[in-house]
Amino acid sequence: MNHALTLDDVAGLARARLSPPVWDFVAGGAGDERTLAANRDVFDRVWLRPRVLTGAGRPGLGTRVLEADWAAPIGVAPLAYHTMAHPEGEAATARAAGERGLPLVVSTFAGTAFEQIAAVTAAPLWLQVYCFRDRATTRAVVERAERAGFAALVLTADTPHLGRRLRDVRNGFVLPPGVAPANLAPGDYASPAAHGRDELDPDLDWSVIGWLRSITALPVLVKGVLTGEDARLAVQAGAAGVIVSNHGGRQLDGVPPTLRVLPEVVQAVAGRGPVLLDGGVRRGTDVLVALALGADAVLLGRPVLHGLAIGGAAGVGRVLDILVEELTDAMTLTGTGSVKDAGPALVREQW
Ligand SMILES: Cc1cc2nc3c(=O)[nH]c(=O)nc-3n(C[C@H](O)[C@H](O)[C@H](O)COP(=O)(O)O)c2cc1C
Ligand SMILES: CCCCC(=O)C(=O)O
């Protein structure tokens, strides 16, 4: 594990550890996986403009999001069933993130009880909310997370139903034995595709933000925003922030890579709350580019499950350490002293 020097190294090791259908469930995207590929390719089309002799010295990576301290502008994206990758699941992830002062967004479909997750980290925990047709189910999940000490809700808005993930269709993917949601009532969750088709509420509109705010005191962020128009509506509806995300290319194939739409979302939100980005972040320079184009922080998805697969909490720790070290390197070598110093002058499109 210690010879893994990049997140791609970790992915390579993880692939050998996971069964092919689980690997495909994690790695795959919707349709032809055009959006999945673009999320990464877009970072290759941007170059950094380093400033020299700035006197910036060793950079400070710390930042504040929703009045909480993060040791770096990097959090863990909501991912269903960490227990698919390692038996200790979200508890292992939370331990690794917590030891590093980094936040974790816990999925509605977490494989570990919220209370167990909260017990092992002092870093911020946010609950990702899937809104079910049965609002009582959603309400129970939200109340449980709030009681466990979670600090914010992240409403996933891009999933009126689960996208067409052809790898899973071809594999007839079902959850491995022993993997189930730990914070939902017992039920038949074996096929994410079937459950995601039948149980999620496809009729949601912006009033759901008001409803969530009526059942909890927690701030609500909206995840899955890809246009300036929706970013504006999110803030108007009472959202505390937005997450620019195409669900890691797993929902509609053909929507743009997140980095491309980040500037229009940042402009629309206009400082009225944090703007986070996920999708394809695999290197410290990717983080720095996202910050330069206006993100307050990024969330990391699949690499976290890769880390779990290769070594539980230690594996996730390795993934987070690599990204933090790479970001430190990139900030040092561009003369960027702090997160807030990263601005548009730092990047240039490929020419
Ligand atoms: C296996 C897997 C499970 C996911 N589960 C959820 C989930 O439960 N809720 C959610 O909002 N997003 C979920 N996502 C999407 C991630 O939060 C995130 O948007 C995406 O993975 C970021 O892209 P990246 O993997 O390229 O870093 C999932 C993604 C993967 C790969
Ligand atoms: C029903 C599980 C949904 C998990 C999810 O959001 C994803 O796989 O992208």
pLDDT tens, position by position, 54-70: 999 999 999 999 999 99
DSSP string, 267-324: HHHTTSS-EEEESS--SHHHHHHHHHTT-SEEEE-HHHHHHHHHHHHHHHHHHHHHHH
Q: Which of 301, 214, 222, 210 is nearest to 269 (CA)?
A: 222
Q: Is 161 a catalytic residue?
A: no
| 178 is a domain residue | yes
The Å distance, Cα 104 to ligand 2 centre, comes to 17
Atom 5 of ligand 1 has which residue's CA nearest to it? 79
Ligand 1 atom closest to the Cα of residue 39 is 26
Q: Is residue 260 part of a domain?
A: yes
Beta carbon of 183 within 6 Å of any ligand 1 atom: no
> H helices within the chain, ranges in order?
7-17, 20-27, 34-44, 89-99, 114-118, 135-147, 166-171, 192-198, 207-215, 228-236, 258-269, 284-292, 302-334
What percent of the chain is modeled with pLDDT above 90? 97
User: Would you state the pLDDT for residue 351?
Assistant: 67
Which pLDDT belongs to residue 26?
Answer: 98
Ligand 1, residue 107: give the atom nearest the CA: 8
Residues 148-161: what's their mean pLDDT? 98
| 67-114 per-position pLDDT tens digit | 999 999 999 999 999 999 999 999 999 999 999 999 999 999 999 999
Is 348 domain-assigned?
A: no
pLDDT for residue 152: 98
Residue 349, in any domain of the structure: no
Rounded CA-CA distance 65/152 in Å is: 11
Contacts of 274 (CB under 8 A, 6+ apart): 65, 66, 221, 240, 241, 242, 296, 297
Nearest ligand, CA 190: 2
- Per the structure block, which two tokens stand in for 157? 């808005």
Q: What is the pLDDT of residue 7?
A: 98
Comparing C-alpha atoms, which of 91, 77, 82, 94 is closest to residue 181?
82
Catalytically annotated residue among 82, 86, 247, 306: 247
Mean pLDDT of 183-199: 91
Residue 2 located in a structural domain: no
Q: DSSP for 61-98?
A: --EEETTEEESSSEEEPP-S-GGGT-TTHHHHHHHHHH
Question: Whose CA is closest to atom 1 on ligand 1?
Answer: 26
Query: What angle do helix axes 228-236 and 258-269 make, rounded to 10 degrees?
Result: 40
**pLDDT tens for each residue of 274-333:** 999 999 999 999 999 999 999 999 999 999 999 999 999 999 999 999 999 999 999 999
Q: Calculate mean pLDDT across residues 228-244.
A: 98
Tokens of 275: 């703007």
CA 285, CA 262: separation in Å to the nearest integer?
16
Output the six-digit token pair for 1: 């594990």
Question: Is 109 a pocket residue for ligand 1 (Cβ < 6 Å)?
Answer: yes
ipTM > 0.85 (yes/no): yes
- pLDDT per residue as tens digits for the range 251-270: 999 999 999 999 999 999 99
- 167 CB under 6 A from ligand 1? no
Domain with 212, as residue range(s), is 7-341
The residue whose CA has the least distance to atom 29 of ligand 1 is 79
- 1 has pLDDT over 80: no
- pLDDT band at 207; cut points 50, 70, 90: very high
User: CB 146: neighbour CB atoms within 10 A?
Assistant: 17
Q: Which residues line ligand 2 (CB under 6 A)?
A: 80, 109, 192, 195-196, 247, 250
| Rounded distance from Cα 192 to ligand 2 centre (Å) | 7
- Mean pLDDT computed over every residue of the chain: 97
Q: Which helix (H) or strand (E) holds 48?
A: strand 46-48
Kindly give the distance from the C-alpha atom of residue 8 to the centroid of ligand 1, in angstroms, as a whole number: 17
Residue 337, domain member (yes or no): yes
Numbered residues of the known binding site for glyoxylate: 165, 247, 250
pTM of the model: 0.98
Residues at the binding site are 78-80, 107, 128, 130, 156, 165, 223, 245, 247, 250, 278-282, 301-302
Instruction: Reply yes or no on whether the pLDDT at 349 is more than 90.
Output: no
Task: Categorize the per-residue pLDDT at 196 as very low, low, confident or very high, splitting at 50, 70 and 90.
Answer: confident
**Domain count of the chain?**
1
Ligand 1 and 300: CB distance under 6 A: yes
CATH number, residue 268: 3.20.20.70
Pocket test for ligand 1, best of 173, 200, 247 (most atoms within 8 A of CB): 247
Q: Is 196 in the pocket of ligand 1 (CB under 6 A)?
A: no
pLDDT of 151 strictly over 90:
yes
* Beta pairing partners, 74: 298
Q: What does the pLDDT average to over 112-139? A: 97
CA atoms of 93 and 5, how far apart (whole Å): 19
Coil, strand or helix: which one is 136?
helix
Question: Is residue 46 a contact partner of residue 289, using CB atoms and an 8 Å limit?
Answer: yes
| Nearest atom within ligand 1 for CA of residue 245 | 19
Which ligand 2 atom lies nearest to the CA of residue 195?
1
Question: Residue 210 Cα, ligand 1 centroid: separation in angstroms?
Answer: 25
Return the closest-CA partner of residue 260 out of 12, 25, 39: 39
Nearest to 202 by CA among 167, 166, 251: 251
